Structure 1
């Protein structure tokens, strides 16, 4: 670390963020009024929630609507609350950026009651979501749209539908998950099979694939004479913009964000005539993600993603089998702590399905 002061500083900042977050600092949106809101919701009643559409997801016979900057109104009182996930009983699309009002029964997302149970509350809390509402009456208050975000949402939905119609049901679910980060088409059998085999990560967008795609795109853009003398900077900047757009398109998973940041750092080092240092890039990427959402330091997906890329970076000169074993041993405690179980044949299956 003494040779990498920036990496050390990033790690130190992450530790500070972890300590502050553990003690509830800084408070999340709606935290100050959370007790009062929970007390109000103890009595089942219909309430009004207004907010801006963050995302809209349509399924075959229902849809999800996510509201940010939500405000709860009960009688004449208003409360700032965390984001809300609304379940609509019909497939309907609301554009990103539109302000809406929802009238229905609001419920806090409950924490797990048993050790090892999926922590749905924490999963949604990472995304700023603390409440759900089902089947409410929706009224559009403002037609203002975020054109870029809405455009990417339309592209994602169009691609998902193309995949759904072009492939058999099981294959469509796997392809959609691996390319678009959309797992809504996955069948229960596929989910269970991948989970029991310990290869659920194969259904996620790989940071390695993002890196390979970014580098390939950059080299392809270098062939375009449009950029002239500054083609390296132009091609690199355009490749970064495309990767960021793809990251937003696919839902901004931790691995995707990490890979995009590391690619941007690599291209930035190239532009500045400096040597690219992977450990520093890893630490810097982790810090940026934690700054955006400090709770990630306690999220197994974040920890496993950065442990994996760190192992591959440190032991890049070892054989694939050795690196795979080290990766398994390093991530095993996190897996056991988070999921209370692991597949005994995970290593063997990963050696088969993951090229090392």
Structure 2
């Protein structure tokens, strides 16, 4: 049976990875892809500015049947009276979700694709072409809307978002700052409908029905149906599906008089989810849900060792087991570890069921008796107030969040191999303790408290060792990454001795470029403190991201390097207040790190220009036989005046490929092997200009484009170098 399931899973994964005809058409079209399409309404969600509607059974244009297209999200900005099951026709520009183009960046396309949602559309015109209704799903959706409306009426403004998230899986009203606070403290999992929520709701139904009916069978089947309905009501996220499947299996085991085996139940849930949504295997939500339960079901029993322990010690073991199993996923996805999260979770989790009960039952009671709803939901306010106060205290403790970075795949393999070996050893040891020489199970032996304290300290120490095993290892090599920041520039250099440098950081096309593109990359490298930051000139597309990160206290800059041009200081005023050490760069200045030499070729002392682009700092990097030029936005006229040029391995082209930079004369002087162009797709400036591309093609050099290929990464070891595009390696 297992080989057959594996075979089916591989086929479904292969099909899920393939591009459908619509995706191929969108990728092959440089202009906007305007379509008229029809689809059945599968789910509806209210966002802050529009209605988010998921369509399935897509038919494009004049076709009469669907052509195996994925689902589509459409955004309708006006009020709608849509119901689940309606078939609608919409018109607008069909687009693909944004793909991660830098290391550490959130991959929106992969997230939606794992749910079989492949494209989105902002609706220009729409109409209902068939008003049929899916009765069950629509009733569940309407019930969800009613509960959300009651919570909006009776809950305090700051509590609405959390209560809707906890009970209904609705996160559109969730306060961004509060969500960030929960994430930093490692308790954001309470905002997702998961095993704890399903267990609370399911057992409430089951026990209540047992008292009413007195029948295991009737109460079990009704409870299973209600739990499945609750999973649908909360949006059918993978954590809820996993918990729902496991709860139903536990009911079946109970009715059959069998012992419930959690590892087997988890395996069944994993198979069900991956057969439905095979690409969930690569999603953090699925992996965290599975590894968390695996820690409880597999690692914790092995640590217990067949002995009787106190409740506090069992709680510590469960917390540590969850951390051991989920640590690689946490660090791969979020790059940091909340140091006190175990203690905070111990203080938070006992009150989660109270919060769920007050918000959930309060909303249901509010359907017929609003004063009671006010009282019940109001009691949940004090739980949220307690959570907020705890988080605000913990986040200000020194070292509360440890930035680790993203480990290499081989480090994760080593960590998992050690963990698996330890679990097998402990399980064998525990089995010997459980049975006597005749194979008969012995009574559990009570462990004294002193031993529990010692072992507890050892468990925490092992967690620290796990963090060290997964901490990225700095390789003795030169590493250069030119990030994709849209219409802007940002290059990062990691020197062989561990010194770090950022050259520019800004964009005019990407909102919050610091938060969503630069910060994830730096944190994935385990870097919050930069040794040097060079701002080649004061244009916003070269510095607004750096300023954003400084204003949000996301990075620390040891030394800021700026062009030594008269009258330039005023242009950098906003950023100077954040940096104690400022070095004004001019031609002839040289910086060495081991065998790496970085020379400033421009501007010359006393240089003046009305064009800020021509004030750009130009840097030449040399490491053995490898060399690279960083041109800022320098124009062709100033290129002619540069001296000390030599044959160049890689050219970071000036001014995003403008026709007024990277002249033919300049290219003949440096004869680059590779040229990197950083610009925004379909930008209003027309970068890179056709003339520039033609000049580069005449040089027979390799041309790298950040919008198409993502971040361009270069690794240099002695006299060998490797250059590759991030999108091509994923």
Structure 2: 5+ residue runs without aligned partners?
305-312, 352-730
Alignment correspondent of 1:296 = 280
Is 1:83 the counterpart of 2:71? The answer is yes
Matched, 1:142 2:137: no
In the alignment, which residue of structure 2 is the partner of 1:323? 318
1:306 aligns with 2:290: yes
Matches within 5 A, 1:224-243: 224-225=212-213, 231-243=215-227
2:35 aligned residue (47, 50, 60):
47
* Matching of residue 346 in structure 1 with residue 341 in structure 2: yes
CA distance in 1 between partners of 2:257 and 2:113 (Å): 41
* Structure 1 residue matching 2:14: 3-state secondary structure: coil
More helix by share: 1
Counterpart position of 1:104: 92
How far has the Cα of 1:74 moved from its partner?
8.0
**Residues 160 and 176, structure 1, Cα contact 8 Å, conserved in 2:** yes
User: What TM-score, normalized to structure 2?
Assistant: 0.44
SS for the counterpart of 1:81 is: coil
Gaps of 5+ in 1: 1-8
State the shift of 1:70 in Å: 1.3
**Range with greater deviation from structure 2 (271-280 or 38-47):** 38-47
Q: d(CA) in 2 for partners of 1:209 and 1:27?
A: 30
CA distances 1:46-80 after superposition (whole Å, capped 9, x unpaired): 21111111111224542111111212228999865
The answer on 1:256 being equivalent to 2:240 is yes
Q: How many residues align?
A: 340
Compared CA separation, residues 36 and 76, structure 1 to 2 (3 A): farther
| Structure 2 counterpart of 1:71 | 59
> Aligned partners of 2:26, 2:62: CA distance in 1, in Å?
12
Do the aligned partners of 1:210 and 1:260 also contact (CA within 8 Å) in 2?
yes
Higher relative contact order (CA 8 A, sep 6+): 1
Evaluate the alpha carbon distance shift between residue 293 and residue 117 of structure 1 in structure 2; reply closer, same or farther with a 3 A threshold: same
What is aligned with 2:251?
267
Determine which of 158, 168, 185 is the counterpart of 2:146: 158
Paired residues of 1:101 and 1:140 also in contact (CA < 8 A): yes
Task: Please name the residue that 1:211 is paired with.
Answer: 199
Asked if the contact 2:56–2:72 (Cα under 8 Å) also holds between the matched residues in 1, the reply is yes
1:201 paired with 2:189, answer yes
More deviation in 244-253 or 53-62?
53-62
Judging changes above 3 Å, is the alpha-carbon distance between structure 1 residues 300 and 36 closer, same or farther for their aligned structure 2 residues?
A: closer
Please identify the structure whose Cα radius of gyration is greater: 2
Q: Quote the offset at 1:188 in angstroms.
A: 1.5
Q: Call closer, same or farther: CA 1:177–1:145 in 2, change over 3 Å.
A: same
1:150/1:76 CA distance change after superposition, 3 Å: closer
- Tell me the secondary structure at the aligned position of residue 31 of structure 1: coil
Partner of 2:162: 174
Aligned to 1:3: none
Q: How far, CA to CA, are the matches of 1:90 and 1:184 in structure 2?
A: 17
Q: Distance in 1 between matches of 2:115 and 2:137?
A: 17
- Tell me, yes or no, if the aligned pair for 2:48 and 2:172 is still in contact at 8 Å: no
Query: Is this contact kept in 1: 2:296–2:321, CA < 8 A?
Result: no
